[in-house]
Amino acid sequence: MEGIAFYLLKSAAWLAGFTLVYLIFLRKERFFRLKRAYLVAGIVLSLLLPLLTVHYRIELPAPVVLEAKGGTVAQDIQPAADTERNQTKSPLKVILFVYAAGMALLLLRTLIFFVSLYHTVKTGLVSRAGEAIVVKTEKYTSAFSFFNYVFINPSVSGREAGEILNHELVHLRQKHWFDLLLVEMMSLIQWMNPFAWICSALVRQNHEHLADEEALQSTSDPAGYRAALLNQVFSARLISLSNSFNFSFNTNRFEMMKKKTYSPYRKLKLLLVLPLIAIMLYAFADPVYTYSDGRDSQESAGTAGMIKDVQGTVVKEDGTPFPGVTVNVSGTALSVTTDEAGKFYFSDLPGYVAIMFSAKGYEFVSLTAESARGKTVTMKANPLYESVGASSRGGLVVIDGKVSDLTPEDATKKLGKDYGKTTYLAPAAAKEKYGEKGAKGAFEVISRSKARESGVILPYPRKAETDFPTFRGESYLAFADWVAEKAKYPKDAASNQISGWARMSYTVENDGSVSQIKPSPDTDPAFAGELTRVMESSPKWKGPENAEANEPFTSEMLIRFQLPDKISNGIVYIMVDEMPKFPGGDAALFEFLYKTIKYPAQAKDNGIQGKVILRFIVTSEGKTENVSVIRGVDPVLDNEAVRVMRLCPEWVPGKIGGKPVNVYYSVPISFALK
């Protein structure tokens, strides 16, 4: 709703700007066709340009908590930051309702005009005059045209009627009805904007100048044409959708009929609209904030903000540069290829976004933008890909401990269903193990039967749906829904107002039973006990349709406990259509951190400082839950960062297809001592 209101405001501002330029610089000019193009373009652009937003960069300091004499202080920032719109929703709804009501009334008025016009055509005296259909009716005293219809009062006859028809035919030939429809649509959308009505009048006034110009060239009696115009002076115009012969009658119209010669350079006045466009684009531009901690101009707000420069190097396993590697930014069309030195580069990426590295014959690598920055990425050869197999690289192939002349791919095919896994040894390790034969690396191919003889159970490489066991005829993912439905909120947790997330791992045995149920260390014992009880009572699972995959299957689930008694399957996304946002933007988030964090005295006394990176879940309700440390400094600082993040006000939740969902989010907090 705010988006609609802001669009209407910007559209009104654009139209006002285009109209003012016309009134000040162009109204008295005689290049009527160019003026028509300007007015039509101004209306169209005023409807389209509000949809375009220009961005500009503002660099702010990252959230660094400083400890100085006299207590903890926040590093000063001077952000021209996002300010929270304090508009209350109810007045906005009322305003938009009134606005919509006005549009409806104007639309109703237009429809009534159409009905009235239709009735007039049916009852009037109709005849043809070239392309025009002439309707003679006493209902209207003033002559006007509407599309290819020309309405004339029967009292007008002879030469005067001929001059009027000559004028109206110009409107029809030049298709002025198109401009009028556009003006009518603009007036409906912006009916509260006075410049909309001014622009509408200017369009029709220019139409009359165009018609006068051409009609005077084709008439044999210019004086008679002016006399016909004078006879229509006191007749009233109908409505905006029609071209009236007497519209805009004033001395200026007669002045415009005079033939005068002007310099063609006066048309350059149209270029005066360019500064207007530049000013308006800047006025409605949105800032993009990047953050640095003052010690490194490229240090950003990590996953909470934008990273200015993401660059690194891709190498092969022997450390040599790897050119030609495709590097993609997940969820976008951004893609680069490493150069001869193996370098890649992106600018202005969110820290949380995934960057993917791929090359034919090599294993896929995925990193976040934050972790990829400045990193040397090593691409490991895919032992199953023929183009990097022994035949092309000269590496040694060892099958179940025996040297073979097959390629790794052929060895896999030979073993068939008994294939277990392939391990690649780099040249140094292979040479140490196999001597000079392994100087170019080695591929160790192990069969499942051989591994079993050694007491090693290799998990079946599950790929298709038929490779997974099923729970009650559905995917194994349905098990979490069943557990959440059967579980009951622990009384101790409810009485102590404990809520949160529980992560449980489990194994489905070959006989369909559930075993090895284990909670994660950060799961509350009360939640873990209740979920264990339910999971142990699980009905028998059905083994995979693929008999080769019928072996123990291990997975995990995430369950959410919400007070007072709600338990649900805690599906959490990493990338979504719309990422979560702190109210007021990143600058407001860091301002909240500055005001809330207290530098721990123990950390101050021991000189402890550094950056803590937190990961948490922004729930579908906008709450921050399951806060954890993914890169810590010291338990004292880590705990303070976690404490403050749990105090966050509600966020704008992330969305998929417009629906709020749970999303993982990360924020870095830097602690520094002066």
Task: Please write the tens of the pLDDT for every residue from 453-478.
Answer: 887 767 776 767 888 899 999 988 88
Question: Rounded mean pLDDT of 58-85?
Answer: 42
Write down the CATH number for the domain with range 469-569: 3.30.2420.10
pTM of the model: 0.44
- Which stretches of 339-483 are assigned E, i.e. beta strand? 343-350, 354-358, 365-368, 376-378, 396-399, 402-404, 419-425, 442-447
Q: The domain 586-673 is classified under which CATH number: 3.90.330.10, 3.30.2420.10, 3.40.390.10, 1.10.3720.10?
A: 3.30.2420.10
Q: Residue 581 has what DSSP assignment? A: B
Backbone dihedral angles phi then psi of residue 533, each to the nearest 5 degrees: -55, -45
Report the alpha-carbon distance of residue 496 to residue 586 in Å, rounded.
Answer: 33
Highest average pLDDT, of 84-93, 245-254, 569-578, comes from 569-578
Question: Rounded mean pLDDT of 570-597?
Answer: 82
Q: Say whether pLDDT at 41 is over 90.
A: yes
Report the alpha-carbon distance of residue 422 to residue 448 in Å, rounded.
Answer: 11
Q: What is the pLDDT of residue 251?
A: 45
Scan for tokens 């990047």, then name that residue: 290
In the chain, what are the domain boundaries?
17-39+90-274, 293-378, 386-453, 469-569, 586-673
What pLDDT digit, counting tens, does each position of 490-506 carry?
Answer: 999 999 999 888 989 99
441: region left, alpha or beta (phi > 0 left; psi from -120 to 50 alpha): left
Q: With bands split at pLDDT 50, 70 and 90, how would you rate the model's confidence at 16?
A: very high
Among the listed ranges 45-54, 55-64, 416-425, 428-437, which one has the minimum average pLDDT value?
55-64
Residue 30: CB partners within 8 Å, gap ≥ 6? Answer: 256, 260, 262
What pLDDT digit, counting tens, does each position of 100-133 carry?
Answer: 898 999 899 888 888 888 888 888 888 888 888 8
Q: Say whether pLDDT at 391 is over 60.
A: no
What pLDDT digit, counting tens, does each position of 600-640 carry?
Answer: 888 888 888 888 888 888 998 999 988 888 778 889 999 99
Scan for tokens 């309700």, then name that residue: 621
Report the alpha-carbon distance of residue 495 to residue 488 in Å, rounded.
Answer: 14
What pLDDT digit, counting tens, does each position of 196-245 carry?
Answer: 999 999 998 888 888 888 877 877 677 666 666 656 654 544 445 666 65
CB 272 within 8 A of CB 25: yes
Among the listed ranges 84-98, 430-444, 562-576, 659-673, which one has the minimum average pLDDT value?
84-98
Q: The domain 293-378 is classified under which CATH number: 2.102.10.10, 3.20.20.70, 2.60.40.1120, 3.30.413.10?
A: 2.60.40.1120
* Omega cis (within 30) before 154: no
Q: What is the pLDDT of residue 105?
A: 92
Alpha carbon separation from 105 to 75, 96, 174, 184 (Å, rounded): 56, 14, 30, 13
| Pick from 303, 321, 427: nearest CA to 376 | 321
Q: Count of alpha carbons within 13 Å of 88, Cβ hemisphere only?
A: 3
Structural element, H or E, at residue 97: helix 89-123
| Pick from 215, 226, 214, 219: nearest CA to 255 | 226
Question: Rounded mean pLDDT of 294-298?
Answer: 38
The pLDDT mean for the chain works out to 79
Among the listed ranges 119-128, 402-411, 645-654, which one has the minimum average pLDDT value?
402-411
Write a three-state SS string for 55-80: EEEEEEECCEEEEECCEEEECCCCCC
Share of the chain above pLDDT 70, in %: 80
The CB density around residue 256, as the number of other CB atoms within 10 Å, is 20
Q: With bands split at pLDDT 50, 70 and 90, how would you rate the model's confidence at 369?
A: confident
Is there a shared CATH topology between the 293-378 domain and the 586-673 domain? no
Q: With bands split at pLDDT 50, 70 and 90, how would you rate the model's confidence at 392?
A: very low
Q: Residue 137 has what DSSP assignment? A: -
